[in-house]
Structure 1
Amino acid sequence: MLSGTLIKDTFSGRELLIYLPPSYQTGAKRYPVLYVHDRGDLFDPAYSGSLSAIEKLCSNHELPELLLVGVAAENRESEYTPFSEPHLIKPGQTYGGKGALYAAFLAHELKAYIDRSYRTDPRRESTGMIGKSFGGLISIYTAYLASETFGKIGSLSGSFWFPGMTEFMRVQTFENANLRIYMDVGSTEGTDRSNLQKEMIPRTKKAFRILTESAASREDLKFVIEEGGVHRFERFAKRFPEAVKWLFGSCHNNAQNDRSF
């Protein structure tokens, strides 16, 4: 049973799933905030046990209590993609490429609503974003557009095979390079594909390598390859609590980066 509280909210027509930690109801403390794409399915108890794992980390003082804000997408393949590109498996269709509009919505509209509606710590170093697959892709993309707003970024098996993403990263700079970034990928992801998704692992490694050259401190970057990991929700959800711990926890010396790239 959860100790904290899950509530449903809406903003600008979008469903929000918000987790309030146990102490939220009894004091005046302000809390860090982690925005989670896909309506927060990574922490929704209907889909996984990751929220119980996060509460355990908090009760063990390995992670500070924080708010989790799940944000529903209006059109996932449009909002979570940075550029308009031909669809891999739907002939004649395209990925919408409205990532910049979505990033601006998160940084300038949704965050303002959450900060005025809940007791948040609004500072960038207390504000993060995380997602899986396309949600991981858009998290890293948003870091380039809104690094003055989001200081912690998580990408679980981000879709870095997406055309043009690593090329975009190569020529961009962060407005504020003092970022804490977590990335991971499963060791078998893309190995069964014949399309661009077969580039999942090499392009993810390339993306991380670019980050090591552009972020302020390599000590604030973490890259994990899950041995045997596949591109499945249950894998993302299993890794989610440790990703949150590394981004927000006081212990910054967890697993070492995989440097074999």
Structure 2
Amino acid sequence: MKGTIQNLNINEHHCSLYLPPNYNILDVNYPVVYMNGDNNTEEIINSIESHFDVDCSGFILISIESKNWNHDFSPWPAPTLAKNREAFSGGAYEYLNNLTKVIKPFIDTHYRTKTEPENTVLIGYSLGGLATLYSLYLFGIFGKVGSLSGSLWYDGWIEFMSSNSPINTAAKVYLSLGKSEERSRNQRMARVGDCTQKTFSILSKQLISTENIIMEWNNGGHFTEISKRFSKALLWLMRI
């Protein structure tokens, strides 16, 4: 890895900040990728950095650690998936509002960023991927969104999409899912394949162009090659 990663705290959120190669040498501004959850930033960057300025734009990346996964990334309250698990408490609006009103302004103030929606990306995995899509219906600030193995089985999600419209209909959306994920023994989670395809269909009609959305199927289940799936998504979202 030629760029650098450092830790910082923004409004009590622990974040990892990646700055691309030559950030401290060249006086240029960069697109910014915001990542829901504390994912393996270094592994993701290692697999994509060589593509900068060839296949995709170089970018700043902010990985935001969740204080409470089931709260921060759930759009509204929903029952637990199992008796020994925590219920979903519906705190995604609170989290996304903090992201847009506090974290992004901090990054834009302290680092050389391109601030326009087309240069502002939100990406997430699992429930964090659901939250990225939810943001499309709340804020117009994210012009590129990636939902990887998103929890699109979530109670009421398809109904919500069907009765609302994205604020920024020019947004670009990347969806992906593992081919084995819909084989879950949990009846709610087993709906993820059907719900992901319905999500793709609905967004294809809501966005201004079908070229703005893609859906990719990956081999394996929910926990297969997660970093590789992030890299594939970022290469598409940040392509030159």
**Normalised by the shorter chain, which TM-score bucket?**
over 0.9
Q: Are 2:151 and 1:152 aligned?
A: no
Select the residue among 123, 128, 140 that pairs with 2:133.
Answer: 140
Q: Are 2:227 and 1:237 aligned?
A: yes
Counterpart of 2:15 in structure 1 is 16
2: CA distance, partners of 1:12 / 1:105: 9
Aligned residues: 240
Q: Deviations over 1:119-144 (max 9, x none)?
A: 11111110000010001000000111
CA-CA distance at 1:63 after TM superposition: 1.2
Residues 1:204 and 1:189: Cα distance change in structure 2 (over 3 Å)? same
Kept in 2, the 8 Å contact 1:88–1:195? The answer is: no
Counterpart of 2:208 in structure 1 is 216
Kept in 2, the 8 Å contact 1:151–1:179? The answer is: yes
Counterpart of 1:175 in structure 2 is 167
2: CA distance, partners of 1:169 / 1:246: 23
1: CA distance, partners of 2:60 / 2:196: 28
Task: Quote the RMSD (CA, aligned, Å).
Answer: 1.4
Within a 5 Å distance, the mapping from 1:104-123 to structure 2 comes to: 104-123=97-116
Kept in 1, the 8 Å contact 2:136–2:167? The answer is: no
2: CA distance, partners of 1:91 / 1:8: 33
CA-CA distance at 1:93 after TM superposition: 4.9
Q: Deviations over 1:168-203 (max 9, x none)?
A: 011111222000100000111030313200111111
2: CA distance, partners of 1:14 / 1:34: 16
Counterpart of 2:47 in structure 1 is 53
Counterpart of 2:32 in structure 1 is 33
1: CA distance, partners of 2:89 / 2:22: 41
Kept in 2, the 8 Å contact 1:192–1:198? The answer is: yes
Within a 5 Å distance, the mapping from 1:238-257 to structure 2 comes to: 238-250=228-240
2: CA distance, partners of 1:175 / 1:14: 26
Counterpart of 1:84 in structure 2 is 77
Kept in 2, the 8 Å contact 1:31–1:66? The answer is: yes
CA-CA distance at 1:52 after TM superposition: 1.1
Kept in 2, the 8 Å contact 1:185–1:229? The answer is: no
Residues 1:94 and 1:31: Cα distance change in structure 2 (over 3 Å)? same
CA-CA distance at 1:213 after TM superposition: 1.1
CA-CA distance at 1:50 after TM superposition: 2.2
Unaligned stretches of 5+ in structure 2? none
Question: What is the letter of the counterpart of residue 75 of structure 2?
Answer: P
Kept in 2, the 8 Å contact 1:86–1:92? The answer is: no
CA-CA distance at 1:91 after TM superposition: 5.7
Question: What is the letter of the counterpart of residue 76 of structure 2?
Answer: F
Identical counterparts, % of pairs: 30
Within a 5 Å distance, the mapping from 1:59-98 to structure 2 comes to: 61-90=54-83, 93-98=86-91
Q: Which runs of 4+ in 1 moved over 4 A?
A: none
Question: What is the letter of the counterpart of residue 4 of structure 2?
Answer: T
Counterpart of 1:255 in structure 2 is none
Q: Normalising to structure 2: TM-score of the pair?
A: 0.96
Kept in 1, the 8 Å contact 2:70–2:86? The answer is: no
CA-CA distance at 1:88 after TM superposition: 0.9
Kept in 2, the 8 Å contact 1:79–1:99? The answer is: yes
